[in-house]
């Protein structure tokens, strides 16, 4: 029997951003699948509905891949695929497996020789990089920086140095409710002529994306409290 295909399905980054984020092919794929692996069943069902799912929700099989379930073997989720069913994999926002858990499920699919098909959709990392005007031919994403203040400070200075040495754009994120103190740390740690791009609420109506020097940011500090944001540092060689 032929195995099913694992579709990696991006999810909107902002409420109401479906038309900005989803392709017709993605919506058709949703309507052709009845089994999903998701991070949170409730929000995933809402997402599917908003995306344009016409299949009755009661006919869906949903595997909740939430934090407390992660000690379940990934192979549990792949039984349907082995039996020939196509399966959709979604995270809470953006692209599954990128700045999000789930890469282990994809890795397991490759080990089992299951076809993996990534669908086009919104990634805050990619959109911020495009819009930063920084080097898009060499860049690195680090996820969250260390929480300890001294470690974090050292890490930011490290990234600034790496950017200067390699001409590489440095990308990182913070938990939205810690954005303001985090930005403060970045503005204090970096050199005045280093460039910083702040991208917040990407694809929302109040999307904010600006690149300025650290010196210019220090003059006018934006309020990022509770706004999903991404930070990019760049220092020209």
In angstroms, give the least distance from the CB of 117 to a copy of itself. 7
In angstroms, give the least distance from the CB of 168 to a copy of itself. 7
Per DSSP, the three-state class of 38 is strand
The stretch near a copy of itself (CB under 8 A) out of 56-64, 136-144, 150-158, 218-226 is: 136-144
| Site membership for a copy of itself, residue 122 (CB under 8 A) | yes
DSSP state of 172: E
Residues 42, 104: Cα–Cα separation, whole Å: 22
Site residues for a copy of itself, 149-188, by CB under 8 A, read: 168
Dig out the tokens for 189 from the structure. Answer: 């740690």
Q: Where are the alpha helices (DSSP H) in the chain?
A: 18-21, 24-30, 41-51, 79-82, 103-111, 124-132, 149-166, 179-189, 214-219
In angstroms, give the least distance from the CB of 34 to a copy of itself. 21
Site residues for a copy of itself, 8-27, by CB under 8 A, read: 8, 19-25
Contact 203, 13 (CB under 8 A): yes
Q: Which of 50, 60, 85, 141 binds a copy of itself (CB under 8 A)?
A: 141
Dig out the tokens for 90 from the structure. Answer: 């979604």
Q: Which residues bind a copy of itself (CB under 8 A)?
A: 8, 19-25, 28, 95-100, 102-110, 116-123, 125-143, 168, 202-203, 207, 209-212
């Amino acid at each position: 029997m032929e195995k099913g295909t694992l579709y990696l399905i991006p999810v909107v980054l902002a409420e109401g951003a479906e038309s900005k984020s989803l392709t017709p092919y993605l919506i058709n794929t949703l309507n052709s699948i009845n089994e999903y692996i998701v991070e949170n069943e409730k929000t995933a069902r809402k997402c599917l509905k908003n995306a344009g799912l016409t299949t009755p929700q009661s006919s869906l099989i949903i595997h909740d891949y939430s934090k407390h379930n992660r000690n379940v073997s990934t192979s549990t989720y792949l039984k349907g695929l082995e039996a020939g069913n196509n399966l959709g994999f979604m995270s809470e926002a953006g692209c599954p497996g990128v700045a999000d858990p789930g890469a282990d499920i994809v890795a397991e699919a490759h080990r089992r020789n299951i076809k993996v098909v990534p669908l086009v959709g919104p990634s805050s990392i990619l959109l911020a990089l495009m819009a930063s005007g920084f080097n898009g031919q060499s860049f690195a994403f680090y996820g969250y920086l260390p929480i300890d203040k001294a470690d974090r400070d050292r890490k930011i200075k490290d990234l600034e140095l790496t950017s200067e040495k390699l001409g590489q754009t440095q990308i990182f994120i913070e938990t939205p409710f810690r954005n303001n103190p985090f930005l403060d740390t970045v503005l204090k740690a970096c050199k005045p002529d280093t460039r910083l791009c702040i991208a917040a609420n990407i694809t929302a109506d109040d999307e904010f994306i600006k690149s300025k020097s650290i010196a210019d940011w220090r003059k006018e500090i934006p309020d990022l409290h509770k706004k999903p944001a991404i930070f990019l540092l760049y220092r020209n060689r």
